[in-house]
Structure 1
Amino acid sequence: MTDLIPLPDISEAALHQMYTYRLGRIRAAMAEQKASVAVLFSPVSMRYAANFDEYQLFQSHIPTTMMIVPIEGPVTVFGASQRHHPNIDIYQPSRMATPFDGGLDFTGSCQTIVEDIEQTLRQNNLSGAGFHIALERTSPILSRLLLEKGYSLIDGEALVESARMIKSPTEIQCLRHTVNVAQYGMDKMREYLRPGLTELQVWSILHQVNIAHGGDWIDGRMLASGPRTNPWLQEATHRKIELGDTVAFDSDMVGPNGYLADISRTWICGGGTGSRSQREAYRHSYDEIHHNMSLLKPGVGFAELTERAFKRAEKYRDRRYVCAFHGVGLCDEYPKIYYPEDARHNNCPGELQENMVLSVESYSGAEGEPDGVKLEEMVLITATGFERLSTYPFEKELLI
């Protein structure tokens, strides 16, 4: 059992202000998009709206719980076990609209959900023309029944994502704490790292530290060693790490209060200056994230970030990471900003704003070479530029 780092100095009053702020952000987005109600199934969306944190991974694949958020009026949750959640006014039984809960034909359950939505509209006088229902990913049966009733649907997931972009001061405090927990876990991983341990043994330490501090989960098993670091996105296995191996990882850690720490570092097992290819790849990723961080300030357009992004060396271009920047909050968030080579995928209009949080990404691995390097920083957009939220040191011996 690991020791615990101190809790952040956040009062219950400040947390409740944060929950009020987040629900207000959803309702402001609803007003902008003319949505009368939002029907939420995503565990991340329900966490954002009302700090609803019950069985989140279960909910992600068996959506037993549903939340209805009217633009005005009481918020209702269907299927909660507890009764302590902020911003929730009414608790109702689950509607069982999944095969696991309700059998292979849950048309009747979806019809009941339609009636729930209509009751919310009537009770809050929200059934006027020209307004939409914001619906998150769910059964097409529910969408069809609503359309047959004449309702206009918009995407509830996109609506909530747009709300989550700008962080309140308490959200930023929560993000700092999750980063501190992750970096403490990284310290423990590094202390434990030695030849003969498997990738999974080393990776498990971050999980243990996260859970011990009240964290939630880790999105992937993103730790690889030696030849498994190139190409990237190979998850941890029972491979035994050898002396001199590159060891690269990406935390992807959904930590305390549901906030994400998305940090990547690369080490050499046993330390030292590594090989020439290890040093070249490390320097390339180090230069990339520092160049790309230097671009960050309010008012810079997302497309401009793509255009001005670090010009990657030819040998590292084909195995580039999936994006150069992306948003961070309760998990990976909008926007995702691609490299110039992938600019056709850039469908994120907008610009940087104060109190957005981003991850700045780099992966450098050349085809035909044994090693790859993954580095990533989390940053806060400030009034005049940016602040690094992740402060874990880089490998000076690999930068010579």
Structure 2
Amino acid sequence: MSASETIDTSTAANPTRTNNTLPDVRAHRLARVREQLHKNNCPAILLYDPVNIRYATDTSNMQIWTGRNPSRYVMVFADGRVIAWEFHSCEHVWDGLNLGLEMRSAVSWTFFSAGTEAERRADVWGAEIVDVLSKRAPNERRLAVDRLDPIGAAYLIRNGLTLLDGQAMMEMARTVKSSGELVLMNESLRACEKGIERMHRELQPGMTEQDLWANLHHENIRHGGEWIETRLLASGDRTNPWMHECSSRVLQHGELLAFDTDMVGPNGYCSDISRTWTVGHTRPSDEQRRLYEAAYSQVHFNMDLLRPGMTFREFSEKAWKMPELYLKNRYSCVAHGNGMVDEYPSIAHQVDWESGGYDGQFEIGMTLCVESYIGAEGGNQGVKLEQQVVLTESGCVPLTLCSFETGWL
């Protein structure tokens, strides 16, 4: 996206508008992949990661399963040609796409599918990959790959290919969103917010964490969404430290309830929202209010700080200063990219910069999640908040309509 392109942050879900947007989104995403190949002087990229395949081609086939069982793969060339090796009898998932596509049958060499024949089938697979590259990019020996099991990588290297980091290329391609992508992301967010509204209505003492979490799944699937990456919902003393996944624990009146949606919704776009409530929607205690005020301050201070052109290091250095009391239990990052799933970049806290930070620059069109977790070391409760935003010429614009508990402030 160029600096002069208008970013549409409108929020109304509109299926007709979404369908009209898809051709432009597909063209934008494929162009971004090709741009990375040209930038890295690489003729082609081999994709196994189902999210990368979705980004480059807008095809989806059993994404959770194929993420664990590499059984469909795609090669995208710098000139825009696409070869797809599809899972058994699944060519129909490509219907309606205008990609100038060459379709082949996938060769799977996981132990599940090949057993003791895995190495032999990997040789068959590798010979085909080498042949395809040599015929369509003569005299080229460089190939980017995003994910590849050791047997496959060893075969390609042994046969003269130089493998490049395709995951890095795809992360960079996915960084900047077009205005059409924001239309699709907004549709996912509206579905997620329906789930959050349902959770808010249903929340009451006596139900389990899992009972409540099921409401988000219900609305996601009902609105055409796909899956939820985590199960991050916790109540009571399980809110401190963060990262307890939801359980059969029974919710108690007046305690804190916190969640992080990590929801892959309609059209494969992620909605990553965190909120914290009290069970029964009771008035918070003084301690709950203090925790919430700190988390709210962290999120909104950092949102106000974010600007295109700012470096990651500068943002980390200037970010909200966390009181020592909460530092030990801090969230893993200050902010992170977001698109089809969590994406580059991940911005380290200043205290973690030497061990986990890396620099870069924020750009117009990046979509990000600004994070906070506030819980005292040794405490028995904590607050998790997260807001999904887009960077525009004028700064950081929220994409999320879901309200905060401003009455607690």
What are the equivalent positions in structure 2 for 1:29-44 lying under 5 Å apart? 29-44=36-51
Give the partner amino acid of 2:79: E
Supply the RMSD in Å over aligned alpha carbons. 1.6
1:121 to 2:140 alignment: no
1:62 to 2:65 alignment: no
Between 73-82 and 284-293, report the one with greater CA deviation.
73-82
SS at structure 1 position matched to 2:377: coil
Counterpart for residue 327 of structure 1 = 337
Counterpart for residue 104 of structure 2 = 92
Q: TM-score, normalised by structure 2?
A: 0.93
CA contact 1:327–1:358 (8 Å) conserved in 2 = yes
SS at structure 2 position matched to 1:211: helix
How far apart, in 1, do the equivalents of 2:325 and 2:96 lie? 52
Counterpart for residue 7 of structure 2 = none
Counterpart for residue 162 of structure 2 = 152
Q: Give the CA deviation at 1:369.
A: 2.2
Q: Give the CA deviation at 1:88.
A: 6.1
5+ long unaligned stretches in structure 1:
none
How far apart, in 2, do the equivalents of 1:117 and 1:293 lie? 46
Counterpart for residue 350 of structure 2 = 340
What are the equivalent positions in structure 2 for 1:46-85 lying under 5 Å apart? 46-72=53-79, 74-80=81-87, 81=90, 82=92, 83-84=94-95
1:287 to 2:297 alignment: yes
Q: Give the CA deviation at 1:85.
A: 5.9
Q: Give the CA deviation at 1:329.
A: 0.2
Q: TM-score, normalised by structure 1?
A: 0.95
How far apart, in 2, do the equivalents of 1:250 and 1:33 lie? 36
How far apart, in 2, do the equivalents of 1:216 and 1:153 lie? 32
Counterpart for residue 367 of structure 1 = 377
How far apart, in 1, do the equivalents of 2:111 and 2:194 lie? 41
How far apart, in 1, do the equivalents of 2:193 and 2:19 lie? 25
What are the equivalent positions in structure 2 for 1:121-200 lying under 5 Å apart? 121-124=133-136, 126-129=137-140, 132-200=142-210
5+ long unaligned stretches in structure 2:
1-11
1:318 to 2:328 alignment: yes
Q: Give the CA deviation at 1:9.
A: 4.3
| Partner of residue 250 from structure 2, selected from 240, 262, 268 | 240
Across the two proteins, how many residue pairs are aligned to each other?
393
Counterpart for residue 279 of structure 2 = 269
Give the partner amino acid of 2:249: R
Give the partner amino acid of 2:124: T
Residues 381 and 6 of structure 1: is their aligned pair in 2 closer, same or farther, counting only changes over 3 Å? closer
Between 187-196 and 96-105, report the one with greater CA deviation.
96-105
How far apart, in 2, do the equivalents of 1:76 and 1:113 lie? 14
What are the equivalent positions in structure 2 for 1:210-225 lying under 5 Å apart? 210-225=220-235
Give the partner amino acid of 1:99: F
Counterpart for residue 5 of structure 2 = none
CA contact 1:263–1:375 (8 Å) conserved in 2 = yes
How far apart, in 2, do the equivalents of 1:6 and 1:307 lie? 37
CA contact 1:272–1:397 (8 Å) conserved in 2 = no
How far apart, in 1, do the equivalents of 2:53 and 2:217 lie? 23
CA contact 1:68–1:117 (8 Å) conserved in 2 = no
CA contact 2:146–2:166 (8 Å) conserved in 1 = yes
1:112 to 2:119 alignment: no
What are the equivalent positions in structure 2 for 1:369-388 lying under 5 Å apart? 369-388=379-398
CA contact 1:246–1:371 (8 Å) conserved in 2 = yes
SS at structure 2 position matched to 1:17: helix
Q: Give the CA deviation at 1:389.
A: 0.3
How far apart, in 2, do the equivalents of 1:109 and 1:157 lie? 25
| 1:303-326: CA deviation from partner (whole Å, max 9, x where unpaired) | 111111110011100000000100
Counterpart for residue 35 of structure 2 = 28
